Amino acid sequence: DAGVIQSPRHEVTEMGQEVTLRCKPISGHDYLFWYRQTMMRGLELLIYFNNNVPIDDSGMPEDRFSAKMPNASFSTLKIQPSEPRDSAVYFCASSLGLRGTQYFGPGTRLLVL
């Protein structure tokens, strides 16, 4: 298995632009998680899905952030409009069961100028 796939690996954009991060979970996993990691705040859970349905989005910082999972093999995290404080590494992870091992992707390093 290729593991969790994220794209792009790096993204540099200007403030105000729309950013879309993509994730392909491990086939057969029923949970998908989006995290943000910064030096200041550590690893934060933004949202997670179970069988493509959002279960807990309480970590989504504000309305500028949205996430979708149109099918079991694809999810997106969109930031519109982006701001410099959104600069972080965004991880996607998937698991079998909520308490199962979470397998993390390589992350997307986002820099908003």
Partner 1 sequence: TQLLEQSPQFLSIQEGENLTVYCNSSSVFSSLQWYRQEPGEGPVLLVTVVTGGEVKKLKRLTFQFGDARKDSSLHITAAQPGDTGLYLCAGVTVYNFNKFYFGSGTKLNVKP
Amino acid identity, position 84: P
* Per-residue interface string for the shown chain with partner 1, residues 14-53, x marking contact by CB under 8 A: -------------------x-x------xxxx--x-----
CB-wise, 17 or 38, nearer to partner 1?
Answer: 38
Site for partner 1 in 77-96 (CB under 8 A): 91, 93
Residue 57 sits in the site that holds partner 1 (CB under 8 A)? no
The distance in angstroms from the start CA to the end CA of the chain is 36
**b/e map 67-89, b = 16+ CB within 10 Å:** bebeebeebebebeebeeebbbe
CB of 55 to partner 1, least distance (A): 6
Phi then psi dihedrals of residue 7, to 5 deg = -145, 150
Other beta carbons within 10 Å of 102? 19
Please select the residue that binds partner 1; options are 17, 27, 80, 101, rule is CB under 8 A.
101
Residues that bind partner 1 (CB under 8 A): 4, 33, 35, 42-45, 48, 55-56, 91, 93, 98-99, 101-102, 104-107
